[in-house]
Structure 1
Amino acid sequence: MAIPALIVTGALLAALAVGLGAFGAHGLEARLSERALATWQTAVQYQFIHALALVLIAGLWSRIDPGWGIAAALALLAGIVFFSGSLYGLALGAPRTLGAVAPIGGTLFILGWIALAIAALRQGV
């Protein structure tokens, strides 16, 4: 994954999180329960944080081990898809079995942050 692609991906996912947050607050407020809205906002929050983390990885690229940097970025990206994606689906009324996907995404987030730490340690940051 090239640095510009990582920045673009992170920036677009952050922009999407802002849009989805606004949509949840204004477009879904009258349609969803408080619990569903809270689930939606959790998805937005985690998407936004981890989108920024992708940009952070790109910014640190010259100071981290690139192999582990790629592993971190891919894990965080997959975490967004699995964790936030499943929560968006649940908030919109998808079958509750989709909730089993969220822990996979959460695990990928954890692994992504650990991979970033290893990437830094391997380069002596």
Structure 2
Amino acid sequence: LGGWLRNETAPVAAFRLCGWLFLMGILLFSGSLYFLGLTGSRALVLLTPVGGLAFLAGWLALVHAAWRIRSH
């Protein structure tokens, strides 16, 4: 990954999107579960699947970015 980022043809915006999706996935998925575990409140429980989907979208975006680099 580091080698790709140094490459001038690397789609930096695609990797930035991956990072944001991973961050949102971790915060929403793990954060809502931590909140549930620590407080017992189910107020944020609906954010858990949204976070999981964001994390999966991050992986798909990473695969897509890698595929684009390989095809160049």
For the aligned pair, the TM-score class normalised by the smaller chain equals 0.7 to 0.9
More helix by share: 1
Which whole-Å CA distance do the structure 2 matches of 1:61 and 1:87 have between them?
33
Q: Is the 8 A contact 1:87 1:99 kept in 2?
A: yes
Of the two structures, which has the highest relative contact order with CA contacts closer than 8 Å and spacing of 6 or more?
2
Cα distance between partner residues in 1 of 2:49 and 2:33: 11
Structure 1 stretches of at least 4 aligned residues deviating more than 4 Å after TM superposition: none
Identity of aligned residues (%): 37
State the TM-score, normalized to the length of structure 2: 0.81
Any stretches of 5+ residues in structure 2 without a counterpart? none
Does 2:27 align with 1:62? no
Shift of 1:97: 3.2
Aligned length: 68
Q: Give unpaired runs (5+ residues) of structure 1.
A: 1-56
Aligned-pair Cα RMSD in Å? 1.8
- Residues 67 and 119, structure 1, Cα contact 8 Å, conserved in 2: no
